A and B are shown apart, each in its own frame.
Chain A
């Protein structure tokens, strides 16, 4: 370490590593939300079926994963899954970052299921009546009348959810994923200067804010637009 370098110069030196770490956070969040959304739509659809077994099972899923702390879920998926999977000869690694993706996809799926169910129920029953009186089958009503109206309503809460999952990716560092927070910790320990430590944590705060704040603003704008439609 060169003691004559200022904290800012150190930060500049570390910035490529920090941005790479940020890339890991963004990648994990995108993958987790993609997976969680797919699963959540399935769970949400199942929760609206007439089969009571499905209703109970999905209820349990939603309650369990909405009411568990995200960190607990990440530890859960990290330690219950093996680090390698597959038949004896042909083994695939099951890396920690993927386990974090699953850990975050679980609460995402539970929340998406609720957002989906809420959106479907917010469509007035008169829309069902009108479509049925035009001789549409239930499946057709759902596909061409209910679903398109739901998707529009789901977008703002879904984006809120994305922002909150993106912030939760910072927990990945706790199970050994080299993300932004982990990189900042390494940088802080390596440089070992109080002023740099303050600066680097300030920097990652700014990075997370710069990523999530525009999403929140865009969501607000969408909500405003919908309120007047």
Chain B
């Protein structure tokens, strides 16, 4: 039995390369149950890769990853990965809803098919989740008919429908138009306040500061600095953290959001 104060997620010296490209160079971090931890840092510093390692979508070459007593880096069989992923929700930058299923069916498919839940019960729960993300009126819509912000809120509800004990958010507002960022962050803020354990990769510095118990600053595949949000943001010990925060928090020099995507013929372009 794991002890009460044992961390829910713990990474120890995780290394990962894609070919010659060393993405993670010995990452260690911990997330305690009920905590929200934000991972910040420049683009290309391996933040999204890190989240994929936690849920077993990518296997690191070296190092230990534990999620609530499971050694993720040692999982082999499909059944073991499934047992892990039933406990871990993942929300993607590009939402990745299933376009051939209605909003409600997007929420029902995993609970009924994977968790074997009764359809009526799953439906009740799904509708409650849609209400929570304020999209109850869109239950019969197709994903393609929704705005980016609405799709992302459905994606969050879809992950929550599996009743995960840990949620991973991978730059969930980066693909959104600025006016839609708020509605998505509002939902995450509520989840964190309810005590759901969350790991967020984000470029929204002010949001990260407000919502996280702990902040981890990564750069070039290494953890440069971590600690309570207030300390990392207001009294960073590392010069590199300070430089990054200056760039990120000064809107005139570098916008918090990446380029605004342009929608054309159903595809999104970064201009």
Of B78, B99, B109, the contact of A134 (CB 8 Å cutoff): B109
Q: Which residue of the partner chain A has the closest CB to B85?
A: A135
Chain A window 143-161, contacts with chain B (Cβ cutoff 8 Å), 1 for yes, 0 for no: 0110011001000000000
Give the CA-CA distance A149 to B144 in the complex, in Å.
Answer: 14
User: Are A129 and B57 neighbours in the complex by a CB distance under 8 Å?
Assistant: yes
Give the shortest distance, in Å, between A182 (CB) and chain B (any CB): 45
- Asked, given contacts A130-B98, A134-B162, whether A140 binds B113 with beta carbons under 8 Å apart, the answer is yes
Q: How far is the CB of A144 from chain B (nearest CB, A)?
A: 6
Report whether B57 and A228 are in contact in the complex, using a CB–CB cutoff of 8 Å: no
Interface residues of B (CB under 8 A from A): 55, 57, 78, 81-82, 85-86, 88-90, 92, 94, 96-100, 109-110, 113-115, 144, 158-159, 162, 265-266
**In the complex, are the beta carbons of B98 and A135 less than 8 A apart?**
no
Task: Tell me the smallest distance from the CB of B151 to a CB of chain A, in Å.
Answer: 12
State whether A126 and B162 are in contact (beta carbons under 8 Å apart), knowing that A132-B57, A138-B78, A228-B266 are contacts in the complex: no
Q: Does A38 contact B (CB under 8 A)?
A: no
Chain B residues whose C-beta falls within 8 Å of the C-beta of A140 in the assembled complex: 113-114
Contact between chains at B100 and A152 (CB < 8 Å): yes
CA distance A140 to B115 in the complex (A): 13
In the complex, the answer to whether A135 meets B94 with C-beta atoms within 8 Å is: no
Interface residues of A, Cβ cutoff 8 Å to B: 124, 126-127, 129-138, 140, 144-145, 148-149, 152, 227-229
Chain A binding surface SS class: helix
Residue of A nearest to B168 (CB): A133
Contacts of B99 in A (CB 8 A): 149
CA distance A184 to B158 in the complex (A): 62
Tell me whether A136 and B114 are in contact in the complex, defined as CB-CB below 8 angstroms, given that A144-B109, A229-B266 are known contacts.
yes
Partner of B96, one of A130, A136, A144, A227: A130
**Apart from A126-B92, A130-B92, A134-B162, 13 more pairs, CB < 8 Å:** A129-B96, A133-B55, A133-B89, A133-B90, A133-B92, A135-B162, A136-B82, A137-B78, A140-B113, A149-B99, A152-B100, A228-B266, A229-B144
Least distance between B265 CB and chain A CB atoms (Å)? 7
Bound state CA distance, A228 and B97, in angstroms?
A: 18
In this complex, what residue of A is CB-closest to B113? A140
- Residues in A with CB closer than 8 Å to B162 are 134-135
Task: Establish whether residues B57 and A133, one from each chain, have CB atoms under 8 Å apart when the complex forms.
Answer: yes
Complex contacts, A145 vs chain B, CB 8 Å: 98
Chain A residues near B114 (CB-CB < 8 A): 134-136, 140
A-B residue pairs in contact (CB < 8 Å), sample of 6: A131-B98, A134-B110, A136-B114, A140-B113, A144-B113, A228-B266
* Closest-CB distance, B68 to chain A (whole angstroms): 15
B55, B97, B110, B265: the one contacting A136 at CB < 8 Å is B110
Residues of B within 8 A of A149 (CB): 98-100
Cα of A92 to Cα of B9 in the assembled complex, Å: 69
